[in-house]
Amino acid sequence: MNSPIMTGEGLKKYFPAKGGVIKAVDEVDFEIQKGEVLGVVGESGSGKTTLGNMIMGVYPPTSGQIIFNGKPLPSRAKDRPVQMKREIQMVFQNPASSLNPKRSVKQALEVPLKVNRGGQSVRQRVYELLELVELPVEYADRYPEELGGGEKQLVAIARALATNPSLVVLDEPTSALDVSIQAKIINVLMRLKDKLGLTYVFITHNLSLMRNVSDRVMIMYLGKVREVAATEEFFRNPLHPYTRMLLSSIPVVTDAEEAAKPEKIQSMGEIAGALDLPPGCSFNPRCSHVMDVCKTVDPPLLEVAPQHWCDCHLYPKEFKPTPTA
Amino acid sequence: MGTLTHGLGCEGEAVNNLKSGRSLSERYGRYWYKFRRNKLSIIGLAAIIAVIFIALFAPWLSPYPSNAGLFVNFAAAGQAPSGTHVFGTEEIGRDIFSRIMFGFQYSLMLMVVVLSISVAPGVILGLIAGYYNGRGISVVIMRLADVFVAVPPLLLALSVASVLTPSAVNAMLAVSLAWWPWYTRLVYSSSSSIRNEDYVRAAELVGASRWHIMFKEILPNSLGSILTKVTLDCGWVILIGASLSYVGLGAQAPTPDLGTMIAEGAAYLPAQWWISIFPAFAIVVVILGFNLLGDGINDMFSSGIS
Amino acid sequence: MPLLEVKDLRVNYRVYEGTLKVLNGVNISLEKGEKVGIIGESACGKTTTVKSVMRLLASNAKIAGGEVRYAGEDVLTMAKGRLRDLRRKKMSMIFQDPSAALNPVFTIRQQLYDIIKFSADTRLSKEETHEGALKYLKEAALPEPERILDSYPFQLSGGMKQRVSIAMALVSANELLIADEPGTSLDVTIEDQIMRLLKKIVEEKEISVILITHALGTVKNFVDRIYVMYAGTIVEEGPTKEVFNNPQHPYTQMLIKAVPKLTGGGVPEGILGQVPSYLTPPSGCRFVTRCPYRMEVCDQVPRMYKAGTDQKAACFLYDEGHRSK
């Protein structure tokens, strides 16, 4: 692989709460290669959104740091130089709240353009951005209430691209949309990635979508990374019992997909409360392969197959443990 | 596809598919549609238009314009309502109907002055407090507002008006002082929640200034609730102004003022009931009018199509 | 006689812009003990359909034609008292968002007791009510029922809340249960548990079910038969397996194709074009504006033609007279 555009080292985010701390993100390392789509997959409480927020500098990590293009990234957005802010942008989940209902499409797109003055006229650039996301230029004068959910999301994408970013965090960009519209948005995103050489961090709960979109998949559960692998390898050989449970639970439409699922691990139990995590591996109360060691020792994330990391005591059986980079 | 093009997606069963480039007049038409669905709002609007019209043209509309000022006609004093004096006359013979018409002038002026003094600072302080929610400056502003809110507005206005010399101007100042914190609190609560909307975060991510965020992103979304409150407050300000006048701390004679008129007539109750009752009724009309209008404006800005 | 029969149902909504002609002749029938699914994307009229069955339509909705028969009785015209009896004893509904369906200021005990008292014919003693509550909670597989009874909704997880709503619905749903996206707001592993539980309960108690959802995979392992809705019309109906494996109506075909597959293969373009406006819907087939097989005859309203092995599709492609083209 070539050089990473962003790496996270020992990232932790603890939120103080009544009766203890919530370990939203706990000791997470990650690497994003230039030009790839990294799928960050998890259910609610997994810490995937907190991770995205730390990349965006919404709040600083409790410890650890993020390196961007070889330089440490200031942990708060307001401490980041304008150039750095422009490089990292975000698309939010809910199309209804990501556009200001009182401002037209043109006004929404003008904000980043006026802040980051370029040589071009603003109007020209607004039209360019709309064409980029495959919307008609007449949409410049429309208000959010006149747009469908998918169209709003395309405008939000255009706004994120206005500063010419190199890395875009996509926080469940299509989960509020119908499948037929999701398909359109995903295709626009993929075309933009190739055209503009973007890197995506795609935060989602939808593994089926990641099968078709991401280059690598990173599974999170209760604040920790549980499994990371290239997409092909990940779906061919899912290792972590949680990953397998997740895969078995996914509702699918065709028989071929049903057959592609790993041995059925029926979902059981609920995600542990963030305040009282079980000792050892925090997945152990729901795990079908639970062993004694799981209840006392938290397993480290190890490279158990080439470029395939997993944090589970079942592994390695025959692999040599090597600490993650 | 023409008229069938309605966006890629749709949210909300049955009410979607209304999306298409709409002209300005259509956009306002929708506001008017929401407003007029409640008949009472129309009645309120009509009442307020009538009151404003009467106040503006009182010198030409009233049967005895001279009665507005210092005018004495003991010959006609204390007459019951009749064809010549529809609302009767008071203790020094002035026509109550005419004086009520002029009384609207003072009430409306009080309202305009008080609201123009208190709304703008109240809103701006609320915006700042909402934007910096959780920070020191927000706490200071909101605690200050709480102090003012803790004192009932009439009591605060009373104490201010009694420290200063009783006059119309001081009454307006006193009421304004009691009024701004309500706007601060209203705007604080809406702006601190709008602050967390994704579109505000998106604007921050691209480096928009705090003034842009406060005035261009947050304020327009609070306008509906501010406007509703302004309308509802119009009635209350007039009521407080009249109360001040009633206890002698507001407009001074011979200014025709509804509160003063009620106070003067109180001595002649119940025999000469018309002296107090008709001005009191006039106040009720104004307050009710503004309240109904306020409800209509609230409907106008509320979401939901049905 | 079918348990439920919806015949040529037409429902309009009055709004500022005019009249939205939403349901345009919907036909659905449900036998006793049968489980059917209504699938379709947002605003296709699926919720309006079931709300008509429960007589829960919004105030600006107007039934413009058709009838709803429950065990032969006309629901739309029956007296209020009779309707109340039906809702108390025969049918009930589970909603998408369990947090919205439970009142936040009362404990589960208060809410569940009330429902049990309402549905009983005679005055129940405290013990009888309590026993009933325990029975329903047990049926919904809730552990520690006493603790649940004393909890407020906010003290329960999303999955628990949905189990409680199921318990509440079971009190009245002796014959028919309408489930409106019951798992959509939950994590996939929890949704999987809820759907398995629901299926077990209704099969044991022989309750008929209408499941409405936009998530195609969810219905696949649950219902016997499927109705596919598009823009206020039923476009296809048939046995679940047949509809998924061998869809006949062009809309169903495109919809199933648009779902990202766990087996990969990329994301297709989705369905081009837009859902028509309910203000001015096409006079004939409502899918005509997006259909790749559009013919001249599509200006007319298609009836349900026999299609595939065991399905019916509202499409002229399956009319003998037009098949040659």
Please check whether residue C15 touches B, CB under 8 A: yes
- Domain end: C213, C248, C271, which one? C213
In tens digits, what is the pLDDT along chain A, a chain of 325 residues?
Answer: 467 999 999 999 999 988 888 999 999 999 999 999 999 999 988 999 999 999 999 889 999 999 999 999 999 988 898 888 889 999 998 888 999 998 999 999 988 887 666 556 888 899 999 999 999 999 999 999 888 889 999 999 999 999 999 999 999 999 989 898 999 999 999 999 999 999 999 999 999 999 999 999 999 999 999 999 999 999 999 999 999 999 999 999 888 888 888 777 888 888 887 788 899 999 999 998 899 999 999 999 999 989 999 999 998 765 444 444 3
Tell me which residue of B267, B230, B228, B229 sits closest to B246, measured CA to CA. B267
Beta strands in A153-273 (DSSP E): 167-171, 199-204, 216-221, 224-230
- The Cα–Cα gap between B206 and C216 comes to 38
| Binding-face residues of A in 180-209 toward B, CB within 8 A | 181, 184
Q: So what's the pLDDT on residue A12?
A: 95
Domain count, chain C: 2
Nearest CA in chain A to C142: A269
Chains that touch C (3 or more CB pairs under 8 A): A, B
Q: Does B14 touch chain C (CB under 8 A)?
A: yes
Measured CA to CA, the distance from residue B152 to residue C149 in angstroms comes to 44
Contact A112 B206 (CB under 8 A): yes
Inter-chain CB proximity C189 and A249 less than 8 Å: yes
**B303 near C CB under 8 A:** no
Domain boundaries, chain A: 4-310
At B203, list the tokens: 């604007």
Q: Is C90 inside any structural domain?
A: no
Containing structural domain, residue C116:
101-213
> Mutating which of B4, B25, B30 best tests the C interface, going by the most C Cβ atoms within 10 A?
B4
Chain B interface includes C206 (CB < 8 A): no
Are the Cβ atoms of C276 and B8 closer than 8 angstroms?
no
Whether the Cβ atoms of residue B245 and residue B257 lie closer than 8 Å to each other? yes
Q: Is there a contact between C255 and A271 if contact means CB atoms under 8 Å apart?
A: no
Q: Residue B19: what pLDDT?
A: 42
Spell out which residues of chain B touch residue A184, defining contact as CB-CB under 8 Å. Answer: 8
How far apart CA C134 and CA C109 sit, in angstroms, is 10
* Distance from the A254 Cα atom to the nearest Cα atom in chain C, whole angstroms: 7
Same structural domain, C6 and C39: yes
Decide if C262 and A209 are in contact by the 8 Å CB cutoff. Answer: no
Residues of A in contact with B8 (CB under 8 A): 148-151, 154, 181, 184
Residue C317 to residue C294: CA distance in whole angstroms:
9
Distance CA B199, CA C241 (A): 43
The answer to whether A183 contacts C189, with C-beta atoms less than 8 Å apart, is no
- For C301, residues 6+ apart whose C-beta sits below 8 A from its C-beta are C24, C25, C283, C284, C285
What pLDDT, on a 0 to 100 scale, did the predictor assign at position A118? 59
pLDDT tens digits, A44-66: 889 999 999 999 998 899 999 99
C112: in domain: yes
pLDDT at C322: 65
Which of B8, B28, B132, B225 is best to mutate for the A interface (most A CBs within 10 A)?
Answer: B8
Residue whose entry in the numeric block shows the structure tokens 């875009």? A168
Residues C230 and C200 in one domain: no
Both C128 and C189 in a single domain? Answer: yes
Q: Which residues does chain C have within 8 Å of residue B34's beta carbon, measured at their own beta carbons?
A: 16
Nearest neighbour of C280 by CB, restricted to B3, B8, B33: B3
Q: Does B214 touch chain A (CB under 8 A)?
A: no
**Residue B195 forms contact with A (CB below 8 Å):** no
In a domain, C300, yes or no: yes
Tell me which residue in A212, A249, A266 faces C260 most closely, judged by beta carbons: A212
Residue B196, min C-alpha distance to chain A (Å): 10
Interval C256-264 mean pLDDT: 91
* Pair C252, C197 in one domain: no
Q: What's the pLDDT at A321? A: 42
Give C-chain residues touching A187 at CB under 8 angstroms.
267, 269-270
Does C208 lie in the same domain as C110?
Answer: yes
Q: Give the per-residue pLDDT at C192.
A: 92
Same domain, yes or no: C322 and C293: yes
Average pLDDT value for chain A: 90
Residue from A253, A275, A286 to probe the interface with C (highest C Cβ count within 10 Å): A253
Instruction: Looking at the structure, tell me whether residues C149 and C209 fall in a common domain.
Output: yes
C59, part of any domain:
yes
Q: Give the residue from C54, C15, C27, C99 showing the smallest Cα distance to B12.
A: C15
C-alpha B52/C-alpha C237 separation (Å) is 64
How far apart CA B88 and CA B274 sit, in angstroms, is: 7
**Going from the N-terminus, what domains does chain B have, and what CATH number goes with each?**
35-65+102-301 (1.10.3720.10)
Q: Based on the domain organization, do C138 and C208 belong to the same domain?
A: yes
Q: pLDDT tier at C298 (50, 70, 90 boundaries)?
A: very high
Contact C16 B29 (CB under 8 A): yes
Pair (C15, C58) in one structural domain: yes
Q: Are C235 and C252 in contact (CB under 8 A)?
A: yes
- Coil, strand, or helix at residue B268? coil
Q: Is C256 a residue whose pLDDT tops 70?
A: yes
B221 vs A contacts (CB less than 8 Å): 100-102
Residue C111 within any structural domain of the chain? yes
CB C145 within 8 A of CB C137: yes
Residue A19 touches chain C, beta carbons under 8 Å: no
As a whole number, mean pLDDT of residues B186-200 equals: 92
Identify whether C84 is part of a domain: no
Q: What is the pLDDT of residue A324?
A: 40
Q: What is the average pLDDT across C71-81?
A: 93
ipTM, two decimals, is 0.87
Q: Name, in order, each residue with C-beta under 8 angstroms of C195's C-beta and a sequence gap of 6 or more.
A: C182, C183, C218, C221, C222
| Topology at the third CATH level for domain A4-310 | Rossmann fold (3.40.50)
What confidence category does residue C323 fall into, taking pLDDT thresholds of 50, 70 and 90? low
Mean pLDDT, chain B, whole residue set: 82
Tell whether the model's pLDDT for residue B292 goes beyond 50.
Answer: yes
Q: What is the CATH number of the domain that holds C181?
A: 3.40.50.300
- Distance between CA atoms of C258 and B295, rounded to whole angstroms? 46
Chain B: nearest CA to C39, how far in angstroms?
14
Q: C109 and C204: one domain?
A: yes
Whether A257 and chain C come into contact, CB under 8 Å, resolves to yes
Which has the minimum average pLDDT: A52-66, B105-119, B158-172?
B158-172
Cα torsion through B195, B201, B204, B205, rounded to 10: 170
Residue B39 touches partner A, C-beta closer than 8 Å: no
Is C269–A184 a contact, with Cβ atoms under 8 angstroms apart?
yes
Interface test with B, best of A76, A91, A138, A146 (most B CBs within 10 A): A146
Partners of residue A177 in chain B, C-beta under 8 Å: 9
